[in-house]
Amino acid sequence: MAVRAVRGAVQLERDEAGHMREQVSELLTAILERNSLVPDDLISVWFTATPDLHSDFPAVAARKLGITDVPLICAQELDIAGAMPRVVRILAHVETDLAKTDVAHVYLGAAAALRKDIAQ
Protein backbone atom coordinates (compact mmCIF):
# COMPACT_ATOMS: atom_id res chain seq x y z
CA MET A 1 0.00 0.00 0.00
CA ALA A 2 1.40 3.39 -1.01
CA VAL A 3 0.54 6.94 0.03
CA ARG A 4 -0.69 9.00 -2.92
CA ALA A 5 -2.02 12.52 -3.33
CA VAL A 6 -5.24 13.08 -5.27
CA ARG A 7 -6.21 16.53 -6.56
CA GLY A 8 -9.56 17.94 -7.49
CA ALA A 9 -11.49 21.18 -7.92
CA VAL A 10 -14.93 22.53 -8.62
CA GLN A 11 -16.16 26.02 -9.47
CA LEU A 12 -19.27 27.08 -7.56
CA GLU A 13 -22.06 28.99 -9.27
CA ARG A 14 -22.68 31.10 -6.17
CA ASP A 15 -21.42 31.59 -2.62
CA GLU A 16 -24.13 29.84 -0.59
CA ALA A 17 -23.50 27.27 2.14
CA GLY A 18 -25.92 24.66 0.80
CA HIS A 19 -24.57 24.98 -2.73
CA MET A 20 -21.00 24.68 -1.46
CA ARG A 21 -21.82 21.53 0.53
CA GLU A 22 -23.54 20.00 -2.49
CA GLN A 23 -20.72 20.75 -4.94
CA VAL A 24 -17.89 19.77 -2.59
CA SER A 25 -19.72 16.54 -1.69
CA GLU A 26 -20.03 15.75 -5.40
CA LEU A 27 -16.32 16.43 -5.91
CA LEU A 28 -15.17 14.37 -2.93
CA THR A 29 -17.49 11.49 -3.87
CA ALA A 30 -16.15 11.54 -7.45
CA ILE A 31 -12.56 11.47 -6.18
CA LEU A 32 -13.34 8.43 -4.03
CA GLU A 33 -15.31 6.59 -6.72
CA ARG A 34 -12.91 7.23 -9.63
CA ASN A 35 -10.01 5.95 -7.55
CA SER A 36 -11.88 3.00 -5.99
CA LEU A 37 -11.36 4.47 -2.54
CA VAL A 38 -13.43 4.33 0.64
CA PRO A 39 -13.31 6.88 3.47
CA ASP A 40 -11.05 4.55 5.48
CA ASP A 41 -8.37 5.00 2.76
CA LEU A 42 -8.17 8.74 3.49
CA ILE A 43 -5.20 9.92 5.53
CA SER A 44 -5.97 13.65 5.45
CA VAL A 45 -7.71 16.17 3.23
CA TRP A 46 -6.81 19.79 2.51
CA PHE A 47 -9.54 22.05 1.18
CA THR A 48 -8.81 25.48 -0.24
CA ALA A 49 -11.28 28.12 -1.35
CA THR A 50 -10.78 31.28 -3.34
CA PRO A 51 -11.06 34.51 -1.32
CA ASP A 52 -14.54 35.24 -2.72
CA LEU A 53 -16.08 32.25 -0.88
CA HIS A 54 -17.29 33.07 2.63
CA SER A 55 -20.49 31.08 3.21
CA ASP A 56 -19.05 27.94 4.84
CA PHE A 57 -16.03 25.75 5.36
CA PRO A 58 -15.63 23.25 2.49
CA ALA A 59 -14.71 20.54 5.02
CA VAL A 60 -18.30 20.61 6.31
CA ALA A 61 -19.28 18.65 3.20
CA ALA A 62 -16.90 15.82 4.15
CA ARG A 63 -18.31 15.65 7.66
CA LYS A 64 -21.85 15.52 6.23
CA LEU A 65 -20.72 12.54 4.09
CA GLY A 66 -19.74 10.73 7.31
CA ILE A 67 -16.01 11.33 7.04
CA THR A 68 -15.55 12.04 10.73
CA ASP A 69 -12.25 10.40 11.72
CA VAL A 70 -10.00 11.92 9.06
CA PRO A 71 -8.02 15.12 9.69
CA LEU A 72 -9.42 17.93 7.52
CA ILE A 73 -8.20 21.48 7.11
CA CYS A 74 -9.41 24.50 5.16
CA ALA A 75 -7.27 27.32 3.80
CA GLN A 76 -7.65 30.27 1.48
CA GLU A 77 -6.14 30.31 -2.01
CA LEU A 78 -3.90 33.18 -3.02
CA ASP A 79 -5.78 36.19 -4.37
CA ILE A 80 -4.25 36.31 -7.85
CA ALA A 81 -5.57 38.77 -10.45
CA GLY A 82 -7.40 36.93 -13.21
CA ALA A 83 -7.73 33.64 -11.30
CA MET A 84 -10.92 31.62 -11.72
CA PRO A 85 -13.47 32.78 -9.11
CA ARG A 86 -15.48 30.67 -6.62
CA VAL A 87 -13.23 27.60 -6.71
CA VAL A 88 -12.85 24.93 -4.05
CA ARG A 89 -9.82 22.69 -4.41
CA ILE A 90 -9.07 19.39 -2.67
CA LEU A 91 -5.76 17.70 -1.99
CA ALA A 92 -6.39 14.29 -0.44
CA HIS A 93 -3.66 12.03 0.90
CA VAL A 94 -4.72 8.40 0.55
CA GLU A 95 -3.51 4.86 1.01
CA THR A 96 -3.91 2.93 -2.23
CA ASP A 97 -2.38 0.30 -4.46
CA LEU A 98 -2.73 2.65 -7.46
CA ALA A 99 0.43 3.70 -9.24
CA LYS A 100 0.97 7.47 -9.43
CA THR A 101 0.10 7.38 -13.11
CA ASP A 102 -3.21 5.64 -12.39
CA VAL A 103 -4.50 8.17 -9.87
CA ALA A 104 -7.58 9.97 -11.23
CA HIS A 105 -7.51 13.68 -10.45
CA VAL A 106 -11.03 15.11 -10.67
CA TYR A 107 -11.86 18.58 -11.96
CA LEU A 108 -15.60 19.11 -12.31
CA GLY A 109 -17.32 21.48 -14.70
CA ALA A 110 -15.49 24.69 -15.55
CA ALA A 111 -12.71 23.80 -13.09
CA ALA A 112 -11.42 21.28 -15.66
CA ALA A 113 -9.75 24.29 -17.34
CA LEU A 114 -7.48 24.68 -14.32
CA ARG A 115 -5.49 21.52 -15.00
CA LYS A 116 -6.10 20.24 -18.50
CA ASP A 117 -2.91 18.23 -18.14
CA ILE A 118 -4.28 16.00 -15.34
CA ALA A 119 -8.06 16.47 -15.31
CA GLN A 120 -9.93 13.25 -15.99
Cβ neighbour number for residue 21 with a 10 Å cutoff: 20
Distance CA 117, CA 88 (A): 19
- Report the predicted TM-score, pTM, of the whole model to 2 decimal places: 0.94
What is the dihedral sign for C-alpha 111, 85, 8, 28?
negative
Is residue 14 part of an annotated ligand binding site?
no
What is the phi/psi pair of residue 90, to 5°?
Answer: -130, 140
Is residue 7 part of an annotated ligand binding site?
yes
- Provide the CATH number for the domain formed by 2-117 in this structure: 3.30.1330.40
Cβ(117)–Cβ(7) below 8 Å: no
Average pLDDT over residues 11-19: 98
The domain spans of the chain are 2-117
Distance CA 97, CA 80 (A): 36
pLDDT band at 118 (very low <50, low <70, confident <90, very high): low
Is residue 107 part of an annotated ligand binding site?
yes
Percentage above 90 pLDDT, the chain:
91
> Per residue in 33-54, pLDDT tens?
999 999 999 999 999 999 999 9
